[in-house]
Structure formats: structure tokens, C-alpha cells
Amino acid sequence: MDYLVNLSLVKPVPELDARMERAGVTIRRALAPEFELVTGWVREKFGSGWASEMAVSFARQPPACFLATRTQKLIGFACHESIARGFFGPTGVDEAARGEGIGHALLLASLLDLKVMGYGYAIIGDVGPSAFYERTVGATPIPNSKPGVYAGLLNSAD
Ligand SMILES: CC(C)(COP(=O)(O)OP(=O)(O)OC[C@H]1O[C@@H](n2cnc3c(N)ncnc32)[C@H](O)[C@@H]1OP(=O)(O)O)[C@@H](O)C(=O)NCCC(=O)NCCS
């Protein structure tokens, strides 16, 4: 199912920024020279489908993806404008770094970017952890959103 986020209600969260700083985590837009490193990391941790989506968001100018880094190492990513315009995702945080607010900080970075681009709402396609999106940004399920943009996706296992 797809979820909807009202971008009028999405604002920077200074406490979360401070939490990232205390944890030594930097959230920033991806840079073109990082393309191979980042897509390789996403493929290894989350599979080739997400790496392909990351590649599409990376090819936008400026790249429509944000990274989380700590001690110069990649620990998380978030993309938007990949599967379709106005869509958020995919996103992922290294298993060892989950539960520190990093996923929330990445999500906000992408959503605020979509807001600056002029969207009023963002769509999260084919949501997995719905409670994460409900809790962090008040996302709500979109009625009748199945099948969505991922319908009929070719799968290497098929
Ligand atoms: C989903 C994911 C990105 C969250 O990253 P994270 O850094 O662990 O999340 P945060 O620490 O920012 O969590 C923010 C809040 O959401 C909650 N939360 C995080 N993951 C959750 C989940 N899977 N289900 C329900 N709640 C979740 C946290 O408890 C926290 O709540 P709190 O603020 O009340 O303490 C991460 O678990 C992940 O990489 N999962 C695998 C990939 C995935 O499913 N991506 C989403 C594709 S749609």
C-alpha cells in the first residue's frame, strides 16, 4: 500500500539535528563522485532493485538522495523522485546503526527537499514499516493505492 505525507506539516526538527550531531552523524546530499561507492553499498545491503532506484535518484541534478555518514563511512541513505515524481524511497540504515533517529533524519531531509521542489504532498510507495512513517511524519495510507507503481515489477527470482 502507498502512504501520503502532507508536506505543509513537515518542518525541520532541531532536536533531531542536535541528536545527529551528538551521535557524530552527518546527513547530507549525495555527491556525484560517490555514485559507485553508494550504489555498491546499497546493492550489498539491500539488493539490486534498491541500488537501481538509488541510481535514478543519483542521476538527477542535484542528486535526489541523501546520505548518513559517521567517521567518513556510509551508514544510511534515502532517495526521492526515483520510481515516480513526488515519491519518497527507498531508504535504509545499516542494521548496526538503527534506532538512533538516523532513518527519521534522512526521511526529513528528502521530504523537505520535495517540499522545496514545490510538492504539497509526498507519496511513499509500497510501504514496508508503516509504523515508522506514521510515527515520524504522520503518514496515512492512501485508499485504493494497490496495485501501485511497482505492479508487475520483474524480479530476478521469477
Ligand atoms: C526503516 C528504517 C530506515 C528506520 O531507520 P532507523 O534509523 O532505525 O529509524 P529511527 O531510529 O529514525 O526511528 C524513528 C522512529 O521510528 C520508529 N521505528 C523505526 N523503525 C521502525 C519499524 N520498522 N517499525 C516501527 N517503528 C519503527 C522508532 O522506534 C522511532 O520511534 P521513536 O522516535 O518513538 O523512538 C530502518 O529500520 C531500515 O533500514 N529498515 C530496513 C529497510 C526498510 O524497511 N526501509 C523502508 C522501505 S519503505
Whether residue 110 contacts residue 45, with contact meaning beta carbons closer than 8 Å, is answered with no
Q: Could you tell me if residue 110 is inside a domain?
A: yes
Q: Could you tell me if residue 131 is inside a domain?
A: yes
**Which SS3 state, helix, strand or coil, does residue 27 take?**
strand
Q: Could you tell me if residue 158 is inside a domain?
A: no
| CA atoms of 30 and 89, how far apart (whole Å) | 15
92 lines ligand 1 (CB under 6 A): yes
Residue nearest to atom 8 of ligand 1 (CA): 98
150 lines ligand 1 (CB under 6 A): no
Residue-level pLDDT at 155: 81
| CA atoms of 148 and 126, how far apart (whole Å) | 7
Q: Which domain holds residue 127?
A: 3-148
Burial group, residue 110, by CB count within 10 angstroms (0-12, 13-18, 19+) = buried
Instruction: Calculate mean pLDDT across residues 141-151.
Output: 95
12 lines ligand 1 (CB under 6 A): no
Q: Could you tell me if residue 39 is inside a domain?
A: yes
Q: Could you tell me if residue 81 is inside a domain?
A: yes
Residue nearest to atom 16 of ligand 1 (CA): 132
DSSP secondary structure code for residue 81 in this structure: S
Q: How far is the CA of 35 from the centre of ligand 1 (A)?
A: 25
Q: Could you tell me if residue 38 is inside a domain?
A: yes
Residue nearest to atom 13 of ligand 1 (CA): 101
The tens digit of pLDDT for each residue in 30-74 reads 999 999 999 999 999 999 999 999 999 999 999 999 999 999 999
* Tally of domains within the chain: 1
Q: Could you tell me if residue 157 is inside a domain?
A: no
Q: Could you tell me if residue 68 is inside a domain?
A: yes
Which CB contacts under 8 angstroms, 24+ apart, belong to 138-144? 138/5, 138/6, 138/9, 139/3, 139/4, 139/5, 140/3, 140/4, 141/1, 141/2, 141/3, 141/4, 142/1, 142/2, 142/3, 142/4
| CA atoms of 158 and 154, how far apart (whole Å) | 7
Which ligand 1 atom is nearest residue 76's CA? 39
Residue-level pLDDT at 34: 98
Please report, for the domain that includes residue 89, its CATH number: 3.40.630.30
The tens digit of pLDDT for each residue in 72-121 reads 999 999 999 999 999 999 999 999 999 999 999 999 999 999 999 999 99
